[in-house]
Amino acid sequence: MGDPKKATKKYQTPPHPWQKERIEAEKELCKIYGLKRKNEIWKAVSELNRYKAQAKRLVAIRNEQSMKEQEQLIKRLVKCNLLRGDATLDDVLGLDVKDFLERRLQTLVYKKGLSRSVDQARQMIVHGHIMVDGQKVTTPAFVVTIQDENKISFNPKSGFNSEEHPERIIKKPEVKTQTKIEKKEKPKKAEEIKEIEDGEESGKGTE
């Protein structure tokens, strides 16, 4: 039995810590989905690997028990809107880490237009401004099921529940009016200048 004071890790770290391509890909995912730490990606990857390992095991075994486990596995993933109802084990093996990150509460709050950015969505969730099916959720990584996807809303006690909240008002970009620029007189040609001078001299001569 483990130490009750120390929680066991729910994810596995990358086997090699210094892989440039993986590090760059993780940075991009953190930027897109507003993740605070890379271990949030590793948790999603570990969960994905568990599902894939189960699918590979069920592919190799063909009996009544495996068919039952296969049905339960696909049903669980369909409930999270990761697969369709007619999916197979091959579809499970084709899942990507982005599919899991898309089902996070933080991502869905932003996509539903409740926040201006994914970073603001994370702040709203952590501070208790978001509810799912009438229950306050303060975990950005909370996986939203397909049934609860349309039940994401603001907490009635939150200031964000008001449409007049300054953070909910979308500021329209200022349109700068173009000022009329006075047309500058074109420089006169040498011939025109000569004609003007000749005219002035002829006028003086008549006087």
Provide the angle, in degrees to the nearest 10, between the axes of the packed helices 64-79 and 39-60: 150
- The token duo for 126 is 């952590």
Domain-by-domain residue ranges, the chain?
A: 15-101, 104-168
The pLDDT-based confidence of 189 (bands split at 50, 70, 90) is low
- The pLDDT tens digits for 153-182 are 999 988 888 777 787 755 544 555 454 444
Tell me which of 171 and 74 has the higher pLDDT: 74
CATH class of 104-168: alpha beta
- The pLDDT tens digits for 5-15 are 777 777 888 88
Exposure string of 93-121, with b = 16+ CB inside 10 Å and e = fewer, is eebebebbbebbbbbbbbeeebbeebebb
The pLDDT, as a whole number, for residue 192 is: 62
Neighbour order of strands in the sheet with 130-132? 135-136, 130-132, 152-154
- The pLDDT tens digits for 105-128 are 999 999 998 999 999 999 999 999
Distance CA 81, CA 102 (A): 10
HSE (CB half, 13 Å, CA atoms) of 181? 4
Distance CA 53, CA 63 (A): 18
Amino acid at 149: E
Distance CA 100, CA 105 (A): 11
- Indicate if the pLDDT at residue 54 is higher than 60: yes
The pLDDT-based confidence of 198 (bands split at 50, 70, 90) is low
